[in-house]
Amino acid sequence: MYKNLKILIIDVGHGGTDPGAVGNGIVEKVANLNTALALKAAAEAMGIKVFINRTADVTMSLEVRVKFANDIARQYPGAKILFVSIHHNAGGGDRAEAIHSIYRGEGQRAANLIANELHSHLGQQKKVYEKRGSDNKDYYYVIRNTSMDAVIVEVAFLDNINDVQICDSVEEQQRNGQVIACAIGKFFGVISSCNDNGEVIKPNPTHTPSPSNELYRVRKLWGDAASQKGAYSIKENAIAECKKHSGYNVYDSNGNCVYSNGGSQTSQPESKPVPPQTRKLDVFYKVFTAEDGWLPEVKNLTDYAGVFGHAIRGLMIRLSSGNVDYKVSTLSSNGYYPTVRNHEDYAGDLKNNVDKVQILNNKLKYRVRLINGRWLPWVIGNSDFAGLEGYSIDAIEIDSI
């Protein structure tokens, strides 16, 4: 049970082929993402565990958004979880809106806190409400079908020349994310105000963290993947996590130490799981997640492939010489997908979470990590499969034997 854990799930509205509202030169999907990323960074700085369903301009169906949230809820039974969907509106209004379930509860409290912060810090008029559909259930899909308290936030009306003035720059969109984070912090009881004056400090745009293709890992040693506390696309977030753990370092994807909190080793180790002079075979592998796309390729056990908390949806493997055949199954498949060889294709469908992996090469050993944080035992070749049917995996390690 995770009764002391506080989780924020951020749903970034629209994206990809769905631009959302457009007004006064602002495209909603872009404003939503800028606001959500700032919200994520600020909430994590308060010690809240954050999951976000997109960090790039990608298309996501409502079904995928709901499944993303409900999967997390199943993985953390007993945790206090809030789902917040970030949007901007159109239609000529002049206010911020926060929509909660018809069943009210904690979602209503969160909606009121968010609306109040947007009003007090930005001067926004506010409206907090619920909406019923013709079937007398919640009208909005993500509120109706998520298993936790959920709120939809409409920060401002983009087609109102007055209202848009609070969100017509990246810096203002980021500030708005911090304002919402202030409300989230109060909801979870981790802060009483945003600062001593009850005001949100507008971020300096030259120092606002932004995600990248780099992943910064918090570990005791570069080669000690089991000690990892987290992997972050924003270096500042990795450093903040590292500061909580004495003896840990922050490493970039190349194994270079970029921050140390007293770790005993601050550079990539020279030793390998198998000494270079005796290794006969190198294995290279990479994975796909909905949040990150294809992640950087990993060689042998220099790292694991994946991001903790982000379910794997695709896998590619190749060898330094010879062929490797492999296959996966997903939560929604009846059995394995067709076997794949090398990089001729990928294993999986990129839409559903992988739960089992089998590598049909007895020169390789491999193991996977369940998204709840548990590494499963090593498997050799096709003697068994790695995984647990019905449970998503978020990391894999492969090496030759």
Residues 347-389 have pLDDT tens digits of 999 999 999 999 999 999 999 998 877 888 889 999 889 998 8
Q: Give the torsion through C-alpha atoms of 255, 259, 260, 266, to 10 deg.
A: 30
**Strand, coil or helix: 96:** strand
Instruction: Name the burial class of residue 271, with classes exposed (0-12), middle (13-18) and buried (19+) by CB atoms within 10 angstroms of its CB.
Output: exposed
Give the rounded percent of residues in the chain with a pLDDT score beyond 70: 88
Q: How far apart are CA 249 and CA 2, in angstroms?
A: 26
Element (H, E) at 142: helix 141-145
Mean pLDDT over each residue of the chain, to the nearest integer: 86
Q: Please give the sequence-ordered ranges of beta strands (E in DSSP) within 169-278, or none if there are none.
A: 216-219, 230-232, 248-251, 257-261
pLDDT above 90 (res 37): yes
The CA-CA-CA angle for residues 356, 358, 360, to 5°, reads: 170
Q: What is the pLDDT of residues 65-76, one digit of tens each?
A: 999 999 999 888
pLDDT above 90 (res 4): no
**Strand, coil or helix: 65:** helix
Q: Which residue type is seen at 140?
A: Y
Q: How far apart are CA 12 and CA 145, in angstroms?
A: 16
Q: How far apart are CA 88 and CA 15, in angstroms?
A: 13
pLDDT at 203: 40
Question: Look-up: residue for tokens 């080669």?
Answer: 223
First to last CA, the chain: 37
Q: Which residues contact 56 (CB under 8 A, 6 or more apart)?
A: 33, 293
Residue 237 pLDDT grade (very low, low, confident, very high; cuts 50, 70, 90): confident
Q: Which residues contact 173 (CB under 8 A, 6 or more apart)?
A: 31, 34, 35, 38, 167
Residue 326 pLDDT grade (very low, low, confident, very high; cuts 50, 70, 90): very high
Q: How far apart are CA 304 and CA 217, in angstroms?
A: 11
Q: What is the pLDDT of residues 118-129, one digit of tens each?
A: 998 888 899 999
**Strand, coil or helix: 9:** strand
Mean pLDDT of 30-39: 96
pLDDT at 252: 79
Q: How far apart are CA 32 and CA 65, in angstroms?
A: 15
pLDDT at 239: 84
Q: What is the pLDDT of residues 260-310, one digit of tens each?
A: 887 665 444 443 444 444 557 899 999 999 988 898 899 998 888 998 889
Q: Please give the sequence-ordered ranges of beta strands (E in DSSP) within 130-256, or none if there are none.
A: 149-157, 216-219, 230-232, 248-251
Q: How far apart are CA 54 and CA 223, in angstroms?
A: 29
- Of the listed ranges 46-60, 104-118, 191-205, 320-334, the one predicted with least confidence: 191-205
pTM, entire model:
0.52
pLDDT above 60 (res 200): no
Mean pLDDT of 213-228: 74
Residue 53 pLDDT grade (very low, low, confident, very high; cuts 50, 70, 90): very high
- Of the listed ranges 116-130, 197-211, 220-234, 299-313, the one predicted with least confidence: 197-211
State both tokens at 401.
Answer: 């034997």
